[in-house]
Amino acid sequence: MTATTTTRSAAEPVSTAPRAARSGTPRTVAGRAVKYALVLFFLFIVLMPAYVLIVTSFKSGSEIGVTGQWNLPEHWTTASWAKAWRSLQPSFVRTFELAIPVAVISSLIGAANGFVLSRWRFPGADLVFTLILFGMFIPYQAVMIPLREIVTTIGIPPGIPTLVFVHCVYGIPICTLIFRNYYATTVPEELIEAGRVDGAGLLRTFWSLILPISIPGFVVTVIWQFTSAWNDYLFAIFLSNTRNGPITIALNALAGAQSPDYAASMAGALITSLPTLIVYVLLGRWFIGGLMAGSVKS
Amino acid sequence: MRRLRHWGPGLLLLSPSLILLAVFVYGLIAWTTKVSVSDEHNARGSKGFVGLDNYVNLFTNDINDRFLHSLKNLLIFTVVFMAGTMVMGLLWAFLLERGVRGEGFVRTVYLFPMAVSFVASGVVWRWLMNPGTGEDAGGLNAVFGALHLEFLQNTWWTNPNWGMAAMAMPAIWQLSGYVMALFLAGFRGIPQELREAAAMDGASTYRLYRNVIFPQLTPVALSALIIVGHMSMKMFDLIMSVSGAQWLTEVPAVYVWQALLTSDYAKAAAISIILLLLVAMVIVPYLIWTNRTEQRS
């Protein structure tokens, strides 16, 4: 995610049409064979860790030695899944209570900011925008020490509500950027003008004209914020604990022991990853389009 | 009054965010800076201002040069991580650029590691990078053994000199797809007329890429480098879940956490501010640059 604008719409699904027909030079059969061989090879490499996770998670304790660790299980068992679920279940539910509000609230904030910054040029808008963007890149360690002190001083119990607040605040820059780029490229000036002629002010225009056409922008920010809240570990370890923290903390507790139960940790890693993977596979098409648009000047 | 009517509603929408960011980004950075120049080395609190002592001590007076060691680790990690994701991302985008059968599927697979947390992928990568060799080989070393590529077997992140290079592997696995997506968008943003014009001029495929297409990708490459580079400097969860907090693989982001565990707030704050400065050195010129190019267009 970067600061550049774009002329492509923020969430337009990426064209999947083959481009070969459009290119000037014909490709040789050998060239094509090499290309497909490489594509397959990399598919294999990328999927290898997924294979290990799945295979190991279905093995029984006695099969998890050094020998044959790449083989399929001789006896498939879901015992490790049950064990992992028993220890992850409370935090699994809790993490939805974290990620869903974060996704909704930061997207709404981002939409409002993005709209204002894409249309209303106030004095110093560039500087304000740059200062917002810098917030996207800061290492969170640079704010974490006082943040934790505030939380303990005020006596806010560590846990999910604190994390919701923190993720919303530090999600403002990225959501603002995504919506700013989206509005800058997809909302025609005439639409705003038409609203103005009808006497709609900025708030009215935003509410009745802009929000209804913002769905593609929302898809991107919702996925982005849901995923980053779900997968976050740094804020979680600073501002919560195993009893009230999100699932990354629980998974680390399950997998981080000196001699970890590999089958259970791998089942746990899969359980932990399922929600973001499902979101990603269902909405990925728009997500990829948005990712590209959010970061590429074209 | 008319000015207020004009700017008022916009600022009203914007101001909650601006206040939150002013307090929680810039305010807290100032607070961290203040802690970093204090002598708050334990839970009893601070007695006073010590200037830049904490910073100087990190570079000259840290036990076993611990901070310099963590910087060296970070440098190795960053170089390998950036090179790996850039090469992989560009290669994958190049392969997909003119379309392959089932492109949507291939792209989804290449990108899926991005949806997984570093904590979850750390579980499997710790297993894949099992340091045992020879008879005890496990994980990737077992694969090398089975393929009679024993010379590739190594101790991965437990190697005291170059272990951080191995630590970058999971990170490359996770982020290469993202860099691919950026490059793919870059490739597809190049107007078809440019390619056609080059073909009309009789340019070979090699020259087309060398002289027409790759130069157009420079802004994309820069964006990708910035994104991957700043992520690298903040890397914490991956290292914590693969190796845990230990000397061999310590980077500044992990050192901050370790210093906090011993309640050495001043030291933790000083390391944090150095991290921030490292990131700012890259990001600020980049933001200025994008601002300029945007205004020009």
DSSP type of residue A68: T
Contacts of A293 in chain B (CB under 8 A): 185
Question: Residue B102, by phi and psi: left (phi above 0), alpha (psi -120 to 50) or beta?
Answer: left
**Considering CB atoms only, which of A120, A145, A248 is closest to B272?**
A145
Looking at per-residue confidence, does B25 or B203 come out higher?
B25
pLDDT mean across residues, chain A = 83
Contacts of B111 in chain A (CB under 8 A): 280, 284, 288
Q: Which residue ranges make up each domain of chain A? A: 80-293
d(CA A128, CA A117): 9
Q: Give 10-residue mean pLDDT values along chain A (298 residues).
A: 37 43 57 91 95 92 74 88 94 96 96 88 83 92 93 86 96 92 83 78 82 88 93 94 92 80 92 93 72 48
**Considering CB atoms only, which of A109, A146, A269 is closest to B32?**
A146
Instruction: Tell me the sheet residues that pair with B49.
Output: B38
ipTM, two decimals, is 0.90
Å from A253 to nearest chain B CA?
Answer: 10
pLDDT of residue A258: 66
Work out the average pLDDT over B24-47: 91
Q: Which residue, A55, A102, A73, is CA-closest to A221?
A: A102
Å from A156 to nearest chain B CA?
Answer: 16
pLDDT of residue B95: 94
Work out the average pLDDT over B42-69: 90
Query: What's the sign of the alpha-carbon dihedral A163, B238, B240, B251?
Result: negative
Contact indicator for B37, B43 with CB cutoff of 8 Å: no
pLDDT of residue A204: 82
Its pTM stands at 0.90
Question: Residue A103, by phi and psi: left (phi above 0), alpha (psi -120 to 50) or beta?
Answer: alpha
Share of chain B above pLDDT 90, in %: 57
Helices (H), A209-261: 215-231, 234-239, 247-255
Hey, are the CB atoms on A296 and B186 less than 8 Å from each other? yes
Q: Which residue, A123, A184, A113, A176, is CA-closest to B13?
A: A113
Confidence of residue B138 (pLDDT cuts 50, 70, 90): confident
Each residue's pLDDT tens digit, A183-201: 888 888 888 778 777 877 7
Helix, strand, or coil (residue A59): coil
B23, amino acid identity: V
Kindly state whether B281 is in contact with chain A, defined as any CB-CB distance less than 8 angstroms.
Answer: no
d(CA A171, CA A289): 20
Contact indicator for B171, B232 with CB cutoff of 8 Å: yes
Query: What's the sign of the alpha-carbon dihedral B269, B270, B272, B276?
Result: positive
d(CA B228, CA A134): 16
DSSP type of residue A69: T
Hey, are the CB atoms on A2 and B290 less than 8 Å from each other? yes
- The string over A85-98, giving b where at least 16 C-beta atoms fall within 10 Å of a residue's C-beta and e elsewhere, is eebbeebbebbeeb
Contacts of B230 in chain A (CB under 8 A): 137
Look at residue B203 and tell me whether its pLDDT is greater than 90: no
Each residue's pLDDT tens digit, B88-137: 999 999 999 888 888 889 998 999 999 999 999 999 999 999 888 877 78
Looking at per-residue confidence, does B45 or B142 come out higher?
B142
Each residue's pLDDT tens digit, A199-250: 777 778 888 888 888 888 898 899 999 999 999 999 999 999 888 999 999 9
Work out the average pLDDT over B200-222: 87
d(CA A59, CA A70): 11
User: Which candidate in B6, B12, B25, B46 is best for mutational testing of the A interface (most A CBs within 10 A)?
Assistant: B25
CATH topology of domain B48-296: MetI-like fold (1.10.3720)
Q: Which residue, A133, A163, A134, is CA-closest to A148?
A: A163
d(CA B285, CA A2): 13
CB neighbour list of residue B113: distance below 8 Å, 6 or more residues apart: A46, A49, B121, B173, B174, B175, B177
d(CA B205, CA B96): 16
Contacts of A14 in chain B (CB under 8 A): 184-185, 188
Look at residue B205 and tell me whether its pLDDT is greater than 60: yes
Hey, are the CB atoms on B124 and A135 less than 8 Å from each other? no
- How far separated are the first and last CA of chain B, in Å rounded? 33
pLDDT of residue B76: 97
Q: Which residue ranges make up each domain of chain B? A: 48-296
CATH topology of domain A80-293: MetI-like fold (1.10.3720)
**Considering CB atoms only, which of B107, B233, B244 is closest to A139?**
B233
Looking at per-residue confidence, does B5 or B161 come out higher?
B161
d(CA B234, CA A236): 15
Contact indicator for B145, B153 with CB cutoff of 8 Å: yes
pLDDT of residue A108: 95
Hey, are the CB atoms on A143 and B28 less than 8 Å from each other? yes
Contacts of B229 in chain A (CB under 8 A): none
Kindly state whether B70 is in contact with chain A, defined as any CB-CB distance less than 8 angstroms.
Answer: no
Q: Which residue, B86, B114, B18, is CA-closest to A230?
A: B114
pLDDT of residue A20: 42
Instruction: Please report the DSSP string for chain B in residue order.
Output: -HHHHHHHHHHHHHHHHHHHHIIIIIIHHHHHHHHHTB---STT----B-TTHHHHHHHHSSGGGHHHHHHHHHHHHHHHHHHHHHHHHHHHHHHHHT--TTHHHHHHHHHGGGGS-HHHHHHHHHHHT----GGG--HHHHHHHHTT-GGG---GGG-TTTHHHHHHHHHHHHHHHHHHHHHHHHHHHS-HHHHHHHHHTT--HHHIIIIIIHHHTHHHHHHHHHHHHHHHHH--HHHHHHT-S-GGG--HHHHHHHHHHTT-HHHHHHHHHHHHHHHHHHHHHHHHHHHHHHHH-
With residues binned 3-state (H G I as helix, E B as strand, rest as coil), the percentages for chain A, rounded to 5, are: 75, 0, 25
